[in-house]
Amino acid sequence: MVAKGILRALISLAALTTLLLVFYNYSSPASIRRAHSGAKFVRPKTGGSLKGIDPLLNPEKGPPGKLWGPGEAERTSATLLSLVRNNELEGMISAMRDLESTFNHKFNYPWTFFNDEEFSKEFKEKTQAETKAECRYEIIPKDHWEIPSWINDDLMAESAKILEEKKVQYSGLKSYHQMCRWNSGKFYDHPALKDIRWYWRVEPKVHFFCDVDYDVFKYMEDNNKTYGFVINIYDSPESIETLWPHTLEFLAEHPDYLHPNNAMAWLADAKNRPEHHQKAGYSTCHFWSNFEIADMDFWRSKKYRDYFDHLDRAGGFFYERWGDAPVHSIALGLMEDKNKIHWFRDIGYQHIPYFNCPSSPKCSSCQAGRFTDGTGLDQEDCRANWFEFAHMD
Ligand SMILES: Nc1nc2c(ncn2[C@@H]2O[C@H](COP(=O)(O)OP(=O)(O)OP(=O)(O)O)[C@@H](O)[C@H]2O)c(=O)[nH]1
Ligand SMILES: [Mg+2]
């Protein structure tokens, strides 16, 4: 009788232990991730909320719905687009090689290269040799590149000194300011892009790690998307001190431009990086624009043109160091339907020092979930904020 009782107690204890172990395993997101992916990476806590799942560590299958593989559909009106200098030829070739081998040899979208001066013969020959697709080489019209007449040289030089004291990178480099302004408000008006709607922005030296077997532009078109990103990071508040106040001024003049399904909660978030919000007036979390797959019709809309003109007149591209990344991100966050913004989480990507690395057999040389390469910058990742305040698609 006593022995039977002990046996029953032992069995109950074993069952309870098993139950607890199972519960512990399935309630621990880290072990779920490990179970699914076999990856050892554990993402540092960076704020935001991944809503219990980490999409970069779960097996990645690409976006849902009908996707068009190579040869399955006509190409749409799109180009791969690079602003680049002759002396960046080597880096451009390396980026092209990656994108051609993972995507473009299957789809043959044309490349359009832009420069503020003539491309060299060597640049043209060596880049064209990397692709079967057409390469176009375009010079930027002077009135799109030059510093506008209303910018005061002395004030700009003084401002550069102040920015340098605040350690704002590239603040003394005029061409960097010009590049940011062109990428914010000019590129889509280049005559060479007149009949083109979609672009994939590619910088020299970036890397692509995963096979992309569907036409990304047709995905955007079919699914009514405006903007695709891979990485979100926090900005340097010192580079954009008055960008948000000027934006609020603009919004007060055009309250109708605020989209009913906007991402204001994402922009206004003060919880995840309070010190940035305090300095800049908004969260500073933005789409990192060295990668963009997007619809130029948004940049060509009256509301965006009005916004860019307002900012351009305010002078912050030159008196501060407003980047095209925060300008694009704020415009999208306020004036576009947030459901039209898509995270291309299946596109493995690196622009030093950050990565987007999905967990997929289509990817190589990129550790799933990795965000930086030992530079201690993991806390700059703010993709989770986008998931928390907008959505995960
Ligand atoms: N033609 C031309 N291209 C430029 C100029 N300045 C920058 N670019 C290009 O504009 C893009 C962005 O410039 P980067 O110097 O990479 O700026 P960044 O990505 O903020 O800086 P890094 O972190 O150093 O890469 C790159 O594709 C550059 O090749 C310029 O004066 N002329
Ligand atoms: Mg760059």
For ligand 1, what atom is nearest to the CA of residue 115? 1
Share of the chain above pLDDT 70, in %: 85
Q: Is pLDDT above 70 for 21?
A: no
Confidence tier at 376 by pLDDT (50, 70, 90): confident
- State which residues form the domain around 366: 56-390
pLDDT tens digits, one per residue of 313-351 = 999 999 999 999 999 999 999 999 999 999 999 999 999
For the question of residue 158 being annotated catalytic, the response is no
Task: Give the pLDDT of residue 369.
Answer: 86
Largest CA distance in the chain: 99
Q: Is pLDDT above 50 for 388?
A: yes
> How far apart are the CA of 260 and the centre of ligand 2, in A?
34
Task: Say if 41 falls within a structural domain.
Answer: no
For ligand 1, what atom is nearest to the CA of residue 203? 27
Task: Say if 25 falls within a structural domain.
Answer: no
Instruction: Flag the least confident range among 96-100, 339-343, 373-377.
Output: 373-377
> How far apart are the CA of 141 and the centre of ligand 2, in A?
22
Task: Give the pLDDT of residue 39.
Answer: 38
Task: Say if 350 falls within a structural domain.
Answer: yes
Average model confidence (pLDDT) across the chain: 88
Q: Across the beta sheet with 78-83, what order do the strands follow? A: 135-139, 111-115, 78-83, 198-201, 292-295, 227-229, 341-343
Instruction: Flag the least confident range among 16-20, 25-29, 139-143, 273-277.
Output: 25-29
Number of domains comprising the chain: 1
Task: Say if 148 falls within a structural domain.
Answer: yes
Q: Whose CA is nearest to atom 18 of ligand 1?
A: 290
Task: Say if 89 falls within a structural domain.
Answer: yes
Task: Say if 132 falls within a structural domain.
Answer: yes
Q: What is the CATH number of the domain that holds 159?
A: 3.90.550.10
Confidence tier at 5 by pLDDT (50, 70, 90): low
Task: Say if 9 falls within a structural domain.
Answer: no
pLDDT tens digits, one per residue of 207-263 = 999 999 999 999 999 999 999 999 999 999 999 999 999 999 999 999 999 999 999
Task: Say if 3 falls within a structural domain.
Answer: no
171 lines ligand 1 (CB under 6 A): no
To 10 degrees, what angle do helices 243-253 and 302-314 make? 130
Task: Give the pLDDT of residue 16.
Answer: 41
Q: Is pLDDT above 60 for 306?
A: yes
Q: Is pLDDT above 50 for 7?
A: no
